[in-house]
Structure 1
Amino acid sequence: AGGGGMNPARLPAALVPRAEPLRLSLQAAADRMQDSLIGGAYSAIAREAGDGAAALFLPDGRLLAQARSLPLLLGSLIPAVAAVLARFPAVSMREGDGYLLNDPFAGGTHLPDLTLIRPVFLGGELIGFAAASLHHQDVGGITPGSIPPHATSIFQEGLRIPPMPSHRNGLLDPQLEALLAANSRTPDLLLGDLSSQWSATSLGSRELQQLALREGAHFPALCDALIAQADILTRQALLAAPDGTGRWEDALDSDGVGADPVPIRVTVEKRGDRLRIDFTGSSPQTRGPVNAAPAAVLSAALYFMRSLAPDAPNNAGCLAALDLVLPEASVVNPHWPAAVNARTGTVKLACNAIIGAWSAIAPETAAAANAGVAAVIAFAGTGPDGRSFALTEVVASGAGGHAGGDGTGGISTDVSNARNTPVEIVEARTPIRIEGYGLAAGSGGAGRHRGGDGLRRIYCLTGGSGTVSYRGERHRQAARGAAGGAPGALSLAWIERADGRIETLGAKAQFEWRAGDRLHVETAGAGGWGQPEGRQATATSEGD
């Protein structure tokens, strides 16, 4: 992965003062796209949780600017744009065109994430692309919400869309619209969210045109300079760190079908101004749906590379110094037709593994493992009034303790930056009452600096009946501590039936429930840092 461009020092002296204002303007444009995308969405997973991402690209597919939003989707936009360009030459594109995809084997991640890409023109010349990805409530498959925890094939997960034209002259193709609606249990939400994606790319298109007009003929050179600047700053950060090799191993609880753990292994090798991240030794691709397509794993690598030089421009230059190795037919690079809907836990543990391996090279950055959980729960069914309901939410966990202090509890970490869905939204859109919500007190690992606590939620179905798909992690494999700190507590989930019976759930589960049944979820705590006896009595784990 990488980006090219000219050295900023080669810019004519008169242009150098214009580079930084352009960088800020591009970042602001991408952030405004993100605000438009989430603000205009219909489904709760998008509008409330913020499960979407927006970015701007150059005509050759290089990332120019991305919103400060959800790293899990931001990194995956890069392969999506590349997949569109590979199938549709730029010379065939016209103003008002749009392209849609979700195929994990052609630039996508998992099927609920639809990516819309719009070419941007100025004076008849292609000057870039505006792209927006959004998690949709339902795109078909064997379970409502399109995240079947026991899927064994991509064909069970929903409608698979290879890169294809979606819009012409600014209008959604009516035949594609009919196809999408026919394959979703919530067609109104799908089409509404897709319209929000088009609006976001329209805004991005206008802003990119305005910036190109403002900079005139110097616009391409300034964009190249910003990408080169990100490359240089990232390499400088690498040069400041010692050469070395670090390794880390973690494991998913299971693949959702079998009972065996799924190992994630990474070797990080730093030499001079280059970094190699190698997942050789990780599990072969699994029968269950925890496989992660390369576009998804790239998100973890991009997150880490951005962390090396956070002040660098947020573009393709951050990846130029990276060699990313994803073994074929592995859990981080599966072959078709692998199931992939539960890839979030895999990518989160992969990101944790990269950070852990890097700490062996740069010990001053060491921290205990984040909890590594973003539990995804899809609710669907029929309420007491006979009306159907559907809602998907993400439940966060905790951040690892570190040398500077306690980890924060109840927060999305690393590649996941989704918001917790407000209680009021859940109760307004479904016949579900939230009977408990707060930190899972004491779940963070003990240490001089405690790990952040996970979250607890109690859901009661007040009427009707329905189906729940639960996709969690860390039910068996705890987040480890560092520097003598203790591991975090495990995740827990169980059903309390209306008659008092208790049914314990594993990390991947699907079940039916009826009025009076309760779902209890407690996400894992993060690891603690340092020997617990060195802890100050006044410290807390909540991060307040």
Structure 2
Amino acid sequence: MKQSLPPALIPRLEPVRLTLQAMADRMQDSLIGGAYSAIAREAGDGAAALFMPDGRLLVQARSLPLLLGSLIPALEAVLKVFPRATMRDGDGYLLNDPFAGGTHLPDLTLVRPIFLNEILIGFAAASLHHQDVGGITPGSIPPHATSIFQEGLRLPPVQSHRDGKLDPALKSVLAANSRTPELLLGDLSSQWSAISGGGRELGQLALREGGHYTALCNALIEQTETLTRQALLSCPDGVSDWEDMLDNDGIDDGPVRIRVTLEKRGNRLRIDFTGSSPQTRGPVNAAPAAVLSAALYFMRSLAPDAPNNAGCLQPLDLVLPEGSVVNPRWPAAVNARTGTVKLACNAIIGAWSGIASGTAAAANAGVAAVIAFAGKRANGQDYALTEVVASGAGGHAGGEGTSGISTDISNARNTPVEIVEARTPIRIEQYGFAHGSGGAGRHHGGDGLRRIYALAEGSGTVSYRGERHRHAARGAAGGASGSLSRAWIERNDGRVEILDAKAQFEWQAGDRLHVETAGAGGWGQSEYQH
């Protein structure tokens, strides 16, 4: 550790680490348990964390890496606009702007400063995927968007709460720009409750530890940095690259390259996305806050037993070329950034296997298909629901890949059939594995999932955002690639319409949506392969 801790305090480090982790996890449980929308309450599409007064990540929940990493630049964006000296207990700050610390517009991030005896001791923050924040399609994930202005309400960092109360004017703006205002306001209330509870607990911890609190927190961050640097030192130096392809950008019919080069020297690592495609017209662009999530996930994996804080990022140099698909210029569309970040994370892991060969694994399927349903029942009642469909994990030297699981930066849960059918007029006619979709090999890749949705009544709009319809997840060490994703509409008159990786369509009662997510790559040569 950079600063030696007095010997009498060393026994306090582990209890404080465990206490902080429990706090963050309770924040997460409160965030998800109090949410209203299915994408949050059932799928768990949210994240919570606590920070030091200077903005360093102190601890994050064990939840969704895709959002956890983005909380860091979100707080940085708030602190650029609102000086710490102006903050008071009960204040709150809200943002979703991808060009000011956000990821995509449905992810609203809420920040609360934490005070003890009028002294700022830290921040609590939570991000949540909201069902609808406006834009040209229900669910605010239009697969054909070409501008951020088409994707919904964009909020730079604004003060949202005073004395613990949501500003009435902002509340009206939020409600007026959502097709599901009751869900948005309910979910935002859950965010405020979660970070308020986390803030209270952080204050109690600081009170118990007294004047040693800051030193203990700094020591935990330094401990994580030390362990991460030691993990890097244990691996050989080297340079390795990896390339993958998005099927298209939703507008132009051509692949989008994700290229990364890793350079490991001593106890530092450079992750460089130079060579990735220029920013696209369609919405697969990923803001820097989103790509940081992939880097944070990987850096945390180097020393998984270390405290869960910002120390893991200290040895990292992250290069995101401006004007590229991983760092687009305003006003690029960004709502479909999940596939980009997943393939970016896959690419980092793939490139790392070229340096640390003992970690070699085949590519994960790299798919988290997001489907937004909205429409009217036969009685005219509106409905809206978004869900995430997982895929498979890559085979590896230690065994087969897991089927039907969220991997790397994804960690969304399955939305139960009962919830889908209770909240919408959609019936799930089939739900299981897409058997045989994982790549063959000594250790098979994990299979994707297969679902059939049937609209029982009324009509509606569906936004489908998938990946791997054209470019399969690669095998490793002689293993075969996984199968491609597929999606199609079976109309009630028997016609079949094949869907591309990004699609939007209208459907009527009796129509069926078939979705099969891709399989992951296999590892090693099998005796049955030729």
TM-score class, shorter-chain normalisation, is over 0.9
Please give the secondary structure, in 2, of the residue aligned with 1:201. Answer: helix
TM-score (norm 2): 0.99
Q: How many angstroms does 1:385 deviate by?
A: 1.8
Contact 1:234 1:305 in 2 (8 A): yes
Within a 5 Å distance, the mapping from 1:480-519 to structure 2 comes to: 480-519=474-513
Q: How many angstroms does 1:388 deviate by?
A: 0.2
For 1:384 and 1:120, how far apart are their aligned partners in 2?
49
The residue that corresponds to 2:110 in the other structure is: 116
For 1:534 and 1:467, how far apart are their aligned partners in 2?
45
Superposed CA offset, 1:420-447 (max 9, x none): 1100000000000000000000000000
* From 3, 16, 32, the counterpart of 2:10: 16
AA partner of residue 119 (structure 1): P
For 2:97 and 2:42, how far apart are their aligned partners in 1?
25
For 1:21 and 1:329, how far apart are their aligned partners in 2?
45
Please give the secondary structure, in 1, of the residue aligned with 2:383. Answer: strand
The residue that corresponds to 1:186 in the other structure is: 180
Unaligned runs of 5+ in 1: 1-5, 536-544
Please give the secondary structure, in 1, of the residue aligned with 2:19. Answer: helix
Q: How many angstroms does 1:386 deviate by?
A: 1.1
Q: How many angstroms does 1:496 deviate by?
A: 0.1
Please give the secondary structure, in 2, of the residue aligned with 1:15. Answer: helix
Superposed CA offset, 1:162-190 (max 9, x none): 00100000000000000000000000000
* From 412, 418, 427, the counterpart of 1:418: 412
* From 40, 43, 51, the counterpart of 2:37: 43
For 1:213 and 1:532, how far apart are their aligned partners in 2?
60
* From 171, 184, 207, the counterpart of 2:201: 207
AA partner of residue 369 (structure 2): A
4+ residue runs of structure 1 moved beyond 3 angstroms? none
Within a 5 Å distance, the mapping from 1:430-441 to structure 2 comes to: 430-441=424-435
Contact 1:448 1:534 in 2 (8 A): no
Please give the secondary structure, in 2, of the residue aligned with 1:36. Answer: helix
Residues 1:245 and 2:236 are matched in the alignment: no
Residues 1:274 and 2:268 are matched in the alignment: yes
For 1:321 and 1:25, how far apart are their aligned partners in 2?
26
For 1:440 and 1:339, how far apart are their aligned partners in 2?
32
Superposed CA offset, 1:390-438 (max 9, x none): 0000000000000010000000000000011100000000000000000
For 1:533 and 1:511, how far apart are their aligned partners in 2?
44
For 2:382 and 2:473, how far apart are their aligned partners in 1?
38
For 2:253 and 2:475, how far apart are their aligned partners in 1?
25
Superposed CA offset, 1:118-145 (max 9, x none): 0000000000000000000000000000
Superposed CA offset, 1:294-325 (max 9, x none): 00000000000000000011001010000000
Residues 1:7 and 2:5 are matched in the alignment: no
Residues 1:102 and 2:96 are matched in the alignment: yes
The residue that corresponds to 1:138 in the other structure is: 132
For 2:279 and 2:346, how far apart are their aligned partners in 1?
20
The residue that corresponds to 1:160 in the other structure is: 154
Superposed CA offset, 1:265-284 (max 9, x none): 00001000000000000000
Residues 1:377 and 2:360 are matched in the alignment: no
* From 449, 452, 466, the counterpart of 1:455: 449
AA partner of residue 90 (structure 1): R
Q: How many angstroms does 1:7 deviate by?
A: 2.7
AA partner of residue 401 (structure 2): G
Q: How many angstroms does 1:449 deviate by?
A: 0.2
For 2:357 and 2:10, how far apart are their aligned partners in 1?
37
RMSD: 0.7
AA partner of residue 2 (structure 2): N
AA partner of residue 135 (structure 2): G
AA partner of residue 477 (structure 2): A
Q: How many angstroms does 1:40 deviate by?
A: 0.2
* From 349, 354, 362, the counterpart of 2:356: 362
Q: How many angstroms does 1:484 deviate by?
A: 0.3
Residues 1:88 and 2:88 are matched in the alignment: no
* From 511, 520, 523, the counterpart of 2:517: 523
Superposed CA offset, 1:169-223 (max 9, x none): 0000000000000000000000000000000001110110011011100101111
AA partner of residue 98 (structure 1): G
Please give the secondary structure, in 2, of the residue aligned with 1:269. Answer: strand
For 1:443 and 1:515, how far apart are their aligned partners in 2?
30
Residues 1:399 and 2:393 are matched in the alignment: yes
AA partner of residue 234 (structure 1): T
For 2:461 and 2:290, how far apart are their aligned partners in 1?
27
Please give the secondary structure, in 2, of the residue aligned with 1:290. Answer: coil
Q: How many angstroms does 1:384 deviate by?
A: 1.2
> Once the two structures are aligned, what percentage of the paired residues are identical?
82
Please give the secondary structure, in 2, of the residue aligned with 1:361. Answer: coil
AA partner of residue 448 (structure 1): R
The residue that corresponds to 1:540 in the other structure is: none
The residue that corresponds to 2:327 in the other structure is: 333
Please give the secondary structure, in 1, of the residue aligned with 2:373. Answer: strand
For 2:201 and 2:314, how far apart are their aligned partners in 1?
26
Please give the secondary structure, in 2, of the residue aligned with 1:14. Answer: helix
For 2:264 and 2:528, how far apart are their aligned partners in 1?
33
Contact 1:303 1:415 in 2 (8 A): yes
Residues 1:291 and 2:285 are matched in the alignment: yes
The residue that corresponds to 1:471 in the other structure is: 465
Please give the secondary structure, in 1, of the residue aligned with 2:7. Answer: coil
TM-score (norm 1): 0.97
Unaligned runs of 5+ in 2: none
Contact 1:484 1:531 in 2 (8 A): yes
Q: How many angstroms does 1:534 deviate by?
A: 7.2
Please give the secondary structure, in 1, of the residue aligned with 2:527. Answer: helix
For 2:494 and 2:415, how far apart are their aligned partners in 1?
28
Q: How many angstroms does 1:533 deviate by?
A: 1.0
* From 291, 298, 304, the counterpart of 2:298: 304
Please give the secondary structure, in 1, of the residue aligned with 2:404. Answer: strand
For 1:330 and 1:389, how far apart are their aligned partners in 2?
37
Q: How many angstroms does 1:527 deviate by?
A: 0.2
Residues 1:26 and 2:20 are matched in the alignment: yes
AA partner of residue 282 (structure 2): G
For 2:527 and 2:189, how far apart are their aligned partners in 1?
56
Matched residue count: 529
For 1:534 and 1:65, how far apart are their aligned partners in 2?
47
Please give the secondary structure, in 2, of the residue aligned with 1:76. Answer: helix
AA partner of residue 116 (structure 1): L
For 1:533 and 1:395, how far apart are their aligned partners in 2?
32
Residues 1:126 and 2:120 are matched in the alignment: yes
For 1:146 and 1:79, how far apart are their aligned partners in 2?
22
* From 62, 65, 68, the counterpart of 2:56: 62
For 1:282 and 1:316, how far apart are their aligned partners in 2?
27
